[in-house]
């Protein structure tokens, strides 16, 4: 198999018509795809074919480094099941925010939409330029992200099954947590990728179960099935239960099933917060010093002005980037000090919270013509400030976030207001692409009014670089979804490519 360089991390710790139609790098080790074969084995059928034929189950329970595996005889045991679970949790962080800007979900969503812009003089991927529909190999952004997401999806699937089969005395909520995170990974495929993604399964016992491509609606529904199972398995843990409920409501919202989404979200308390923790093995790459991204107000002529809202925690720090806007959301110390010049590798990230549950209910109310949508938005502004658990960043006050939103009077303007509130509350959490696609598909907004468009124009980013971006003056692409690794089509006989690349 062709070797491709990846960044090293130790392995451890009703929308039925949906488918009708760089950075200044830190010193890092690298590992080749040969190591990937030994320690993680490529997943989907890109990876699954290897999982089934060329690697032992031990490759999926490595909790040390890509070169350290566990005796196969220990895999199908209580100890092996627990190690598999721990390994899967570590891999989840990699796909979330530990693989580098442009290949993990949160930063990729930021670049592809109007949340972030690239600073590297020689762009390394097409995310910021919106040219990712036809990756040539796994080194491309959407192709590599595709690989990582499938790896973590199957690791979580196998962990969930192994716990149930071989470690029944462990907390059942572990199965619920693994299932909820597996469902979130599947949800990311629905929110970010083209229609037609396969979800091949690799059960802990038995043969792999390849699939052809699934429609976006089918992928959403598969995620919902996983969330339903997680709700049952995690019933004894309020954290896992609420996590699964918010994620299920998010998937239902993506399908346009507003009443169902509201029903699921309403039981989640506003002060619920599920934080994903990071470690030395998988740090938070959005808080690692000078990185390959900055915020850009009004990107592409139609992006939001992010820096004017305190919820994004965007700052200008001349000593770091001249006049450029620095997303400081994850540069918050344990003591609550915001300092984008100091890396915070362990800065946690919210996967789901009661704030999102209320935003889902507000959108459902607006869809139903219920005026409570505005009441809810103002209630969040009044409630999720100061030291409240639901406050996503420090420094929010009644003065800088007044609860004085008024009805703008028209259906379009109401939706604009609600989606702006969502964008500011959920800034840099991997939600923006799903929101834009929902705006296009369910609310029939033109893609040219949602994603950055026109001529790419970014400054020189002094003192990071003295030259402007090489793609300045070129046009943004027209892609509104990501494409899979092309190796999928070569190795999966049931897969025939994207059904469509519609939003």
Distance CA 37, CA 261 (A): 40
According to the model, what pLDDT value does residue 288 have? 79
Distance CA 344, CA 283 (A): 9
Contacts of 291 (CB under 8 A, 6+ apart): 23, 24, 101, 119, 285
Distance CA 108, CA 96 (A): 10
Q: Which of 267, 273, 245 is nearest to 393 (CA)?
A: 273
Q: Which of 280, 321, 312 is nearest to 431 (CA)?
A: 312
> pLDDT by residue for the chain (503 residues), tens digit each?
222 223 333 222 333 334 333 233 333 322 222 233 233 333 444 444 333 333 333 333 333 333 344 454 567 899 999 999 999 999 999 999 998 787 899 999 999 999 998 876 566 678 888 988 765 444 456 678 899 999 999 999 999 999 999 999 999 999 999 999 999 999 999 999 999 999 999 998 888 888 999 999 999 999 999 999 999 999 999 999 999 999 999 999 999 999 999 999 999 999 999 999 999 999 999 987 656 788 889 999 999 999 999 999 998 876 666 667 889 999 999 889 998 888 999 999 999 999 999 999 999 999 999 999 999 999 999 999 999 999 999 999 999 999 999 999 999 999 999 999 999 999 999 999 999 999 999 999 999 999 999 998 876 665 555 566 677 788 999 999 998 887 887 888 899 889 999 99
- Residue 326 main-chain phi, psi, to 5 deg: -105, 120
What fold is seen in the domain 6-22+30-286+345-455+463-491?
A: 1.25.40
CB atoms within 10 A of CB 32: 14
Q: Per the structure block, which two tokens stand in for 466?
A: 């003295």
Q: Which of 233, 236, 230, 235 is nearest to 249 (CA)?
A: 230
373 exposed, middle or buried (CB, 10 Å; 0-12, 13-18, 19+)?
Answer: buried
CB atoms within 10 A of CB 208: 17
Radius of gyration of the chain (CA): 22
Residue spans of the domains in the chain: they are 6-22+30-286+345-455+463-491
Local structure of 433: helix, strand or coil:
helix
**Host H or E run for residue 454:** none
Distance CA 193, CA 247 (A): 18
3-state helix, strand, coil in the chain (%, to 5): 45, 5, 50
Do residues 201 and 484 lie in contact, with contact meaning Cβ atoms separated by under 8 Å? no
DSSP-assigned beta bridge partners for residue 201: 209
Cα dihedral 234, 235, 239, 245, rounded to 10, equals 90
According to the model, what pLDDT value does residue 103 have? 85
Do residues 200 and 44 lie in contact, with contact meaning Cβ atoms separated by under 8 Å? yes
Distance CA 476, CA 451 (A): 9
Cα angle, residue 502 at apex, residues 496 and 503 outer, rounded to 5°: 130
Q: Which of 108, 109, 115 is nearest to 423 (CA)?
A: 115
CB atoms within 10 A of CB 336: 10
Q: Which of 2, 7, 1, 474 is nearest to 281 (CA)?
A: 7
According to the model, what pLDDT value does residue 76 have? 85
The DSSP output letter for 188 is H
Cα dihedral 265, 268, 271, 277, rounded to 10, equals -90
């Amino acid at each position: 198999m062709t070797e491709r360089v990846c960044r090293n991390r130790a392995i451890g710790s009703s929308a039925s018509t949906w488918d009708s139609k760089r950075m200044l790098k830190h010193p890092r080790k690298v590992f080749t795809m040969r190591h990937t074969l030994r320690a993680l084995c490529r997943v989907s059928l890109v990876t699954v074919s290897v999982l089934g034929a060329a690697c032992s189950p031990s490759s999926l329970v490595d909790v040390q480094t890509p070169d350290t595996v566990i005796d196969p005889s220990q895999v199908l045991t209580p100890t092996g099941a627990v190690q598999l679970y721990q390994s899967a949790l570590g891999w989840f962080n990699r796909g979330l925010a530990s693989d580098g800007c442009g290949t993990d979900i949160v930063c990729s969503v930021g670049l592809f939409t109007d949340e972030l812009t690239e600073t590297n003089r020689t762009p390394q991927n097409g995310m910021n330029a919106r040219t990712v529909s036809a990756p040539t190999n796994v080194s491309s952004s959407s192709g590599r992200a595709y690989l990582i997401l499938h790896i973590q999806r199957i690791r979580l699937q196998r962990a969930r099954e192994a716990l149930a089969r071989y470690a029944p005395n462990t907390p059942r909520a572990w199965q619920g947590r693994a299932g909820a995170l597996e469902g979130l990974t599947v949800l990311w495929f629905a929110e970010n990728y083209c229609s037609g993604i396969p979800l091949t399964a690799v059960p802990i016992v038995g043969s792999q179960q390849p699939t052809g491509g699934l429609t976006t609606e089918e992928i959403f529904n598969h995620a919902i099935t996983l969330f339903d199972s997680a709700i049952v398995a995690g019933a004894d843990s309020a954290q896992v239960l609420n996590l699964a409920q918010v994620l299920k409501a998010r998937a239902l919202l993506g399908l346009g099933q507003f009443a169902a989404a509201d029903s699921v979200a309403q039981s989640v308390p506003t002060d619920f917060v599920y934080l994903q923790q990071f470690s030395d093995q998988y740090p938070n790459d959005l808080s690692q010093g000078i990185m390959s991204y900055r915020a850009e107000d009004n990107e592409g002529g139609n992006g939001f002005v992010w820096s004017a809202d305190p919820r994004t925690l965007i700052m200008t720090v001349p000593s770091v980037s001249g006049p450029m806007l620095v997303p400081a959301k994850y540069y918050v110390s344990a003591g609550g000090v915001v300092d984008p010049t100091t890396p915070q590798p362990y800065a946690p990230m919210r996967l789901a919270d009661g704030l999102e549950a209320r935003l889902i209910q507000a959108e459902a109310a607006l869809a139903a013509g219920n005026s409570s949508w505005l009441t809810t938005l103002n209630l969040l502004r009044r409630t999720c400030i100061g030291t409240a658990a639901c406050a996503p960043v420090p420094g929010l006050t009644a003065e800088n976030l007044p609860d004085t939103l008024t009805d703008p009077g028209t259906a379009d303007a109401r939706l604009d207001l609600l989606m702006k509130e969502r964008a500011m509350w959920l800034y840099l959490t991997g939600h923006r692409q799903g929101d834009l696609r929902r705006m296009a598909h369910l609310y029939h907004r033109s893609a040219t009014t949602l994603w950055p468009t026109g001529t790419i124009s970014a400054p020189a980013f002094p003192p990071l670089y003295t030259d402007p971006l090489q793609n300045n003056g070129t046009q943004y692409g027209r892609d509104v979804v990501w494409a899979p690794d092309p190796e999928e089509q070569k190795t999966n006989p049931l897969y025939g490519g994207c059904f469509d690349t519609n939003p």
